[in-house]
Amino acid sequence: MGERIFLAGASGAVGRRLVPLLVAAGHRVTGTTRVSEKADELRGLGAEPVIVDVFDAAALAQKIAAARPAIVIHQLTDLPRDLDPQKMPAALVRNARIRDEGTKNLVAAALAAGARRLIAQSIAWVYARGAEPHREEDPVDTAAEGERSVTIRGVVALEERVLEAPPLEGIVLRYGFLYGPGTPHQRAARPIPVHVDAAAFAALCAVDRGASGIYKHRRGEPARRHREGRARAGLAGRLPVAAALGKASRRPSSSHG
């Protein structure tokens, strides 16, 4: 049965790929941007657009209450699209703020609106040194210093806020490094690569599958025939999604940019 879904970050690299997947699965999507010029694009993708800044807690609460979602999906980040190294130090601070304060506002608004589940984007390169591939339960690198410590603190805050907000079912998706449309990389280039469509697909799967907890992307698990299918399985395979996974891996390869 279709759900009412509030997608924070519908205009981002993952959000734009996720809206059509949710709509095709029969869900009713309200999607956010701060920029009124992007509203038509979101409408074209199939979402009902709302203009809101996650740091405006009162406005966010009002928009989420009006949307009456069963599911809230958090795909907010604040990084330069080209990941320009000159801009990254300031961007990492802003990004950590969105993970902490932005997530706090989203959780409060989701609880107030009576949402059942909150699915949030996190990252897979957070671990302390140790045997690889890392597993969800491995220790996070909380002793990190410098720029990495800013990121780690933001991730820890996001994950705690999402997972410790009963009765909300919190699902954390630790994505690998994104590539594909809307990112600077059109091919898998970095460790633990994940195509934006694979990341979007994992969020779709998390709408109605998986217990509350953390799901980490692992490369090539389980192995599938298509390259993108493998990327999907690397995270979505952590959720019990065999049927949906098989269906999605037959989608035309042109959709992967």
Ligand X SMILES: NC(=O)c1ccc[n+]([C@@H]2O[C@H](COP(=O)([O-])OP(=O)(O)OC[C@H]3O[C@@H](n4cnc5c(N)ncnc54)[C@H](OP(=O)(O)O)[C@@H]3O)[C@@H](O)[C@H]2O)c1
**Residue ranges binding ligand X (CB under 6 A):** 9-15, 32-35, 38, 53-55, 76-79, 81, 83, 98, 123, 175, 177-178, 182-184
Residue (of 203, 204, 254) closest to 226 by Cα position: 254
Q: Closest CB to ligand X among 182 and 221?
A: 182
Peptide bond before residue 80 is cis, with ω within 30 degrees of 0: no
Element (H, E) at 204: helix 196-206
For residues 90, 92, 98, 104, the Cα torsion angle rounded to the nearest 10 degrees is -120
CB of 246 to ligand X, least distance (A): 25
Backbone angles phi, psi at 252, to 5 degrees: -60, 140
CB of 46 to ligand X, least distance (A): 16
Q: Closest CB to ligand X among 235 and 241?
A: 235
Phi-psi region of 158 (alpha: psi -120 to 50; beta: other; left: phi over 0): alpha
CB of 175 to ligand X, least distance (A): 4
3-state secondary structure of 17: helix
CB of 59 to ligand X, least distance (A): 10
Residue (of 150, 37, 24, 21) closest to 75 by Cα position: 21
- Residue 71's DSSP bridge partners are 5, 117
Q: Closest CB to ligand X among 89 and 246?
A: 89
- Residue 23's DSSP bridge partners are none
CA 62 to chain centre: 22
CB of 139 to ligand X, least distance (A): 20
Q: Closest CB to ligand X among 138 and 247?
A: 138
Q: Closest CB to ligand X among 136 and 247?
A: 136
CB of 252 to ligand X, least distance (A): 23
Q: Closest CB to ligand X among 25 and 91?
A: 91
Residue in the block written with tokens 């390169």: 125
